[in-house]
Amino acid sequence: MILQSEKVSEAYFPLVFASESDSGSVYGRPGDFSMGSDVANRSVRSIAHILRTIDPEAQRRVFKRKKGRAYHRIVSGLTRAHAHGERLRFLTLTSANKDGIRTIRRHFQVLRKRIEHRFHFKAEYCSISTREGRGVLHLIFWGRFIPYQWLKEAWSEIHGAWNVDIRMLKNRPRKLANYLCSQYLTAQSFERLSWSWGWVFRGFAGLWKSHFAVWYKSNRLACLRVWNDLIIHFGDSCLVQDILGG
């Protein structure tokens, strides 16, 4: 068994899979078209979708890049949490509504505020929303213990669904990220990845793209060594300036 439910205990169960993804999203911001029209945005998305459907290989390449970005966002937060000794948990929230995918993320923010008020900590998270059933939200977060019964009742009151699950996670960041991506980031069900500002630090995805992505292609080991130092020690202005050459 990979994960141990917190309904009974918080015992650790290590992963056995081989290793090698502010508020943000792997989708980024919509394009800023000069005509300023939602119709233009929808048309471009429709054309891109048609082209990917016609060419399955192109569709696979697009999803592979999306999955790679998601892996980077997940493993960066896990690396930072692991270095700071944070306890990681995996929370699954289901939906009973037909429009669950549209509402489940918004209702999770309500739940997050209740958790902060009731248990006096702010859950920094990375979420994976999928099209399973009527919509499912899988979340990796760090924070204190949350009683299962309280969580079940709170989610039922907020969203109208009672089926929730919470488990402890423990293993090295790359193995955890690899397992989560292989299980929940599939082309058939993956909908969206998003994260809180405190998951790593605000703007970390843009910083990777502007200063590290090209370097990663030419020298992965050196790039990741510097990147990990940055995300672990973020807040030390001298370190950040040295890395960015400022």
Co-location of 113 and 218 in the same domain: no
Co-location of 176 and 241 in the same domain: no
Domain span at residue 131? 4-28+70-202
Scanning the structure block, which residue is given the tokens 């929370």?
91
Co-location of 106 and 80 in the same domain: yes
In a domain? residue 50: no
In a domain? residue 218: yes
> Which is more confident, 64 or 127?
127
In a domain? residue 111: yes
CB within 8 A of 136, min separation 6: which ones? 92, 93, 94, 95, 104, 129, 130
In a domain? residue 45: no
Domain count, the chain: 2
Per-residue pLDDT tens digits for 160-216: 888 899 999 988 899 999 988 888 888 778 888 999 999 999 899 999 999 999 999
In a domain? residue 38: no
Co-location of 107 and 162 in the same domain: yes
C-alpha span between 241 and 246 (Å, rounded)? 5
In a domain? residue 55: no
Co-location of 148 and 106 in the same domain: yes
Dig out the tokens for 169 from the structure: 């996670």
Co-location of 14 and 78 in the same domain: yes
Q: At what angle do helices 220-233 and 56-83 cross, to 10 degrees?
A: 50
Mean pLDDT of the chain: 78
Co-location of 80 and 144 in the same domain: yes
| Predicted pLDDT at 61 | 81
The enclosing H or E element of 181 equals: helix 173-184
Nearest Cα neighbor of 203 from 70, 80, 28, 71 is 28
Phi, psi for 165 (deg, rounded to 5): -150, 140
In a domain? residue 42: no
* CATH number of domain containing 110: 3.30.70.1910
> Which is more confident, 156 or 59?
156
Q: For residues 161 and 155, is the Cβ–Cβ distance under 8 A?
A: yes
Co-location of 169 and 228 in the same domain: no
Co-location of 141 and 192 in the same domain: yes
C-alpha span between 95 and 163 (Å, rounded)? 8
In a domain? residue 100: yes
Co-location of 17 and 133 in the same domain: yes
Per-residue pLDDT tens digits for 106-116: 899 999 999 99
Co-location of 187 and 121 in the same domain: yes
Q: For residues 19 and 174, is the Cβ–Cβ distance under 8 A?
A: yes
Co-location of 124 and 231 in the same domain: no
